[in-house]
Amino acid sequence: MPAIEDTSRTGKSPRGDTSSGAPPVRLGFPLTVEAVELKPISLGRQAMQRFTQNRLAVLSLLVLLVLIVLAIFANLLPLINPTVGDPFNQDSFPSRLHLLGTDSSGHDLLSAILYGLRPALAVGIIGQVVATILGVAIGVVAGYFGGWIDSVLSRITDLVFALPTFLLAFLAVAVLGSAWDTLFGGTGRVVLITIIFGMVGWPPLMRFVRALTLSFKEQQFVEAAHSIGTSRWKIIIRHILPNTWGLVLVQATFGVGGFIYNETTLSLLGLGVQPPNPDLGALVSIGAEHIDINWLESIAPAVVLAVLVVAFAFLGDGLRDAIDPRASE
């Protein structure tokens, strides 16, 4: 690039006209202009950046991933069978053979805890998935179509919402639990609890999604899609549902912890997974009876259960702050 003359000293105009015969002074460096390209950042990437900055949420996610992986692949780990007791090591403290000790029946406590995570996670995650699907489907239909459809679906939601979830599960498992024990390879009771929680746990999400749909329905992008002849179902699928998934994910994450808590409470009452199959709630209940002999029998599964529930709560907080930063202000 050619050098640029300094016209302030010579009085020379940019066109080259000068009022004096003095030679022009040239600068000793070229003047360059660099174009700065600004790349837009998507909303998803912004949410991911905010989430990764929340150390507590990231730590909770890592803890949950570790617990889920250990529960799923527990049978591939060098663990002692949790359903087989050691009559020579009952109520024992941690040792080289039993890293967390044994319970009153001689079952390895570490194996029992890892295998006991399975029913809690299955009920919590799968049950919440079922409740989320039902709640989102019913809520978006009621909110978008309105009229008598909204009235009927809202009354059904109020009816189901009035049912006490835990009491209904308590009665159903007490009556049908024994008949379901032999179904689905011995996991019938877990399946029954999951179905009950999923079928009666959707009303809060329905109301939440319905409110979001009523708000989105009045937005300009929905009105524009409707004005060009887009069908109602395409508007719901392409425009409304994609704008609700983030906030729905936050609510669903909180719901997982609630379902896990209810499932372990049923086990504490003796209505959950039946011995010798391990379950966190049953381990806490049985260990409490021998806490004066070996306090670790009750404390260890209780700590794991508390970490599991609290991690889902912190993860939900992190997702909420990342997806909707205004909610934390």
Q: What angle do CA 214, 216, 219 make, to 5 degrees?
A: 120
- The CATH number of the domain holding residue 246 is 1.10.3720.10
The pTM is what? 0.81
Q: What percent of the chain has pLDDT over 70?
A: 85
Question: 138-161: per-residue pLDDT in tens?
Answer: 999 999 998 999 999 999 999 999
Q: Within a domain: residue 221?
A: yes
Q: Within a domain: residue 321?
A: yes
Q: Which domain holds residue 322?
A: 47-78+90-328
Measure the CA–CA gap between 253 and 118, rounded to whole angstroms. 18
3-state secondary structure labels for all residues of 93-151: CCCCCCCCCECCCCCEHHHHHHHHHHHHHHHHHHHHHHHHHHHHHHHHHHHHHCHHHHH
Q: Within a domain: residue 9?
A: no
Question: 6-16: per-residue pLDDT in tens?
Answer: 444 444 444 44
Query: Which residues, in sequence order, are CB contacts of 55 under 8 Å at separation 6+?
Result: none
- How many domains does the chain fold into? 1
Which region among 6-20, 104-118, 315-329 has the lowest average model confidence (pLDDT)? 6-20
pLDDT at 154 (0 to 100): 93
Which region among 63-67, 68-72, 181-185 has the lowest average model confidence (pLDDT)? 181-185
pLDDT at 32 (0 to 100): 55
Q: Does the pLDDT at position 221 exceed 90?
A: no
